[in-house]
A and B are shown apart, each in its own frame.
Chain A
Amino acid sequence: MSRSASQSASQSACSASSPPPNMSAEQAALVEKHPCFSKGAHQFARMHLAVAPACNIQCNYCNRKFDCSNETRPGVSSSLLSPAAAVQRFAKVKQRIPETQVVGIAGPGDPLANPNATLATLKAVGQHDDEVHLCVSTNGLELEDQLPKLLEIGVKHLTITINCIDAAIGEQIYAWVYFNGRRLRGKHAAQTLIDRQLKGLKLAIEAGMLVKVNTVLIPGINDWHIAELAEELQRYGAFVHNVMPLISDPAHGTYFGLMGQRGPTDEELAQARSDAGVSMAQMTHCQQCRADAVGKLGEQVNVDEIPEVVPAELTVAVASRSGEYIDQHFGYAKSFDLFRVGKAGVEALAARDIEAYCRGQNECDEDEAQLRMSRALHTLEGVDVLLCSRIGLPPRQALQEAGISVNTELALKTTPEALEQIRQQLLEKSAQGSCAKECG
């Protein structure tokens, strides 16, 4: 065992835990509370929200059928979340673990291959808690295109996995890359990915993001290339470099695992980190955690055991044709009556008008439907629950993804009856929540 080797590696690489001298005050503040960027931030917790199942490349160390073995362990995470559910999960975890300072999206696929889910989730988390650091971990293929939106919602931490900057090496690591509507293979695929990664890296750094680069160390494939890679990363201005050992257990069913590609020994890993350490500050405390990890590094919290967060009040929108009953189809509603339902009672708010979502044609023009849906979402901003008699599946999903829960079970009750029922549920839930808290 190479205790001395790994120790010397972590000593030579301690720059990751004590910030480099050329770091700006703003950067120092960003690093301070992020456990994945600074060893010194280990008392803070991070949370990954698994809202991004799709991926646009295939790495030979990843198997999409099972939990992936490397990095953020893409592939399958325990359960996939809608953005709305993800924000609820965050609220729940934040209440139980107030040290949660970082919310990241790391998969299980590539976050930027799922831009809508990723952006909607981060935006909603940011609105819920304006102090939390938002973070994305990507393969970099779509970074250039998505960067403006990431900046707009306040993402300041970014991790890009760059395993090499040479397409001849890359073609041994990536089976294919989906770009501009085509599945690319071989050297062309690798070159496309590398070009896009470096372009994204450059733009993200120029925009002031703190960028960590992850590299999976694969003996015989990219180990001899690590120093060259690190030199290039330094030239671009990456903040910290995280060289991680390949995990290639054949039981994970990855290409590398099944083809007998071995992972690095401790000595090889220490050597690679020391080679890369010549140009780049090294991170050595990475836990290669999952796309749904929660808590401090190295600990996994079971979110299901944390009781639900019960809001103090709910804003409810009602679609009513008669003005008396819940009797309007969402698609035909021209206005929504708004109510604030609190534990103490129900208060009417100003109604909101909307252009009807559905125009009764047999098949809507898809773009127009989307435009109207975004208008509907705008009208319903701030609403927690929508009550209507009926609603189509696509608008129901769109509303739920925007964090609005849709309820058609109260159809044909009078509005006051329905609102009272919601108030009772609120009371019941908060009683359960406080009991769970007391009982531990």
Chain B
Amino acid sequence: MALRITRSCIGCNACKLVCPQKAVVRDAHGYAINAHRCDECVSQPNPPQCGEICPIECAIVDNEGRALNPLGSLTGIPCEQEQVIQLTELAGHV
């Protein structure tokens, strides 16, 4: 049982600062969650802290790949608009 950080992560470091298990690590490849330390905050009174503070939709998922903050849940920007941004971003990377 552990959460995972996806490639959507922008590296803002917020989850690392609030994780009560100190499970978030940063290395040359970016941010990741140490599966041995993460207990999905079941030992805590509050929901998973990384998921509570992360500003990016779909950047944190559970071990079945479900996003803690699905598309459209944080910024209020409708999904169609969000997809336009993602396509623009992809086009920018080509």
- Whether B7 sits at the interface, judged by CB under 8 Å, is no
State the CA gap A393–B89 with chains docked (Å): 33
Given A181-B45, A182-B47, CB of A176 within 8 Å of CB of B74: yes
B17-41 with Cβ < 8 A to chain A: 17-18, 22, 27
- Whether B81 sits at the interface, judged by CB under 8 Å, is yes
- Whether A332 sits at the interface, judged by CB under 8 Å, is no
Interface extent on B, as a size class? 20 to 34
Given A54-B13, A255-B77, A366-B22, CB of A65 within 8 Å of CB of B53: no
Given A54-B12, A64-B10, A113-B17, CB of A183 within 8 Å of CB of B75: no
Q: Are A109 and B14 in contact (CB under 8 A)?
A: yes
Please give me the residue from chain A that is nearest to B41 by CB atom. Answer: A181
Q: Are A55 and B14 in contact (CB under 8 A)?
A: yes
Query: Which residues from A are CB-within-8-Å of B17?
Result: 54, 113-114
Expressed in whole angstroms, the minimum distance between the Cβ of A264 and any Cβ of chain B is 22
Instruction: Summarize A's interface: helix, strand, loop or mixed.
Output: loop
Query: Which residues from B are CB-within-8-Å of A341?
Result: none
- Whether B43 sits at the interface, judged by CB under 8 Å, is no
- Whether A178 sits at the interface, judged by CB under 8 Å, is yes
| Contact with B74, one of A53, A56, A58, A258 (Cβ below 8 angstroms) | A58
Query: Which residues from B are CB-within-8-Å of A209?
Result: none
Q: Are A255 and B12 in contact (CB under 8 A)?
A: no
| Contact with B75, one of A53, A55, A58 (Cβ below 8 angstroms) | A58
Interface centre among B55, B56, B85 (most CB of A within 10 A): B55
Proximity string of chain A (314-340) to chain B, C-beta cutoff 8 Å, 1 when within and 0 when not? 000000000000000000000000000
Query: Which residues from A are CB-within-8-Å of B55?
Result: 55, 58, 64
| Contact with A113, one of B14, B47, B81 (Cβ below 8 angstroms) | B14
- Whether B11 sits at the interface, judged by CB under 8 Å, is yes
Q: Are A181 and B52 in contact (CB under 8 A)?
A: yes
Interface extent on A, as a size class? 20 to 34
Q: Are B12 and A64 in contact (CB under 8 A)?
A: yes
- Whether A76 sits at the interface, judged by CB under 8 Å, is yes
State the CA gap A58–B74 with chains docked (Å): 8
Q: Are A114 and B13 in contact (CB under 8 A)?
A: yes
Q: Are B52 and A183 in contact (CB under 8 A)?
A: yes
State the CA gap A55–B44 with chains docked (Å): 22
Given A113-B17, A253-B85, CB of A178 within 8 Å of CB of B12: no
State the CA gap A148–B10 with chains docked (Å): 31
Interface centre among A178, A183, A258 (most CB of B within 10 A): A183
Interface centre among B53, B74, B89 (most CB of A within 10 A): B53
Please give me the residue from chain A that is nearest to B85 by CB atom. Answer: A253
Proximity string of chain B (40-71) to chain A, C-beta cutoff 8 Å, 1 when within and 0 when not? 00001111010011011000000000000000
Q: Are B14 and A181 in contact (CB under 8 A)?
A: no
Query: Which residues from B are CB-within-8-Å of A258?
Result: 77, 81, 85
Query: Which residues from B are CB-within-8-Å of A54?
Result: 12-14, 17, 53
Expressed in whole angstroms, the minimum distance between the Cβ of B37 and any Cβ of chain A is 9
Expressed in whole angstroms, the minimum distance between the Cβ of B32 and any Cβ of chain A is 12
- Whether A387 sits at the interface, judged by CB under 8 Å, is no
- Whether A60 sits at the interface, judged by CB under 8 Å, is yes
State the CA gap A175–B55 with chains docked (Å): 10
Q: Are A65 and B12 in contact (CB under 8 A)?
A: no
Given A113-B17, A181-B46, CB of A255 within 8 Å of CB of B53: no
State the CA gap A435–B26 with chains docked (Å): 37
A257-311 with Cβ < 8 A to chain B: 258-259
Given A54-B17, A109-B12, A113-B17, CB of A255 within 8 Å of CB of B76: yes
Given A176-B74, A182-B47, A253-B85, CB of A53 within 8 Å of CB of B53: no
Q: List 9 A-B contacts (CB under 8 A).
A: A54-B53, A56-B53, A63-B75, A65-B89, A80-B11, A114-B13, A175-B75, A176-B74, A253-B85
Sorted nearest first, the 8 A-B pairs with minimum C-beta distance are A54-B14, A181-B46, A64-B55, A53-B12, A183-B52, A178-B53, A53-B13, A258-B81
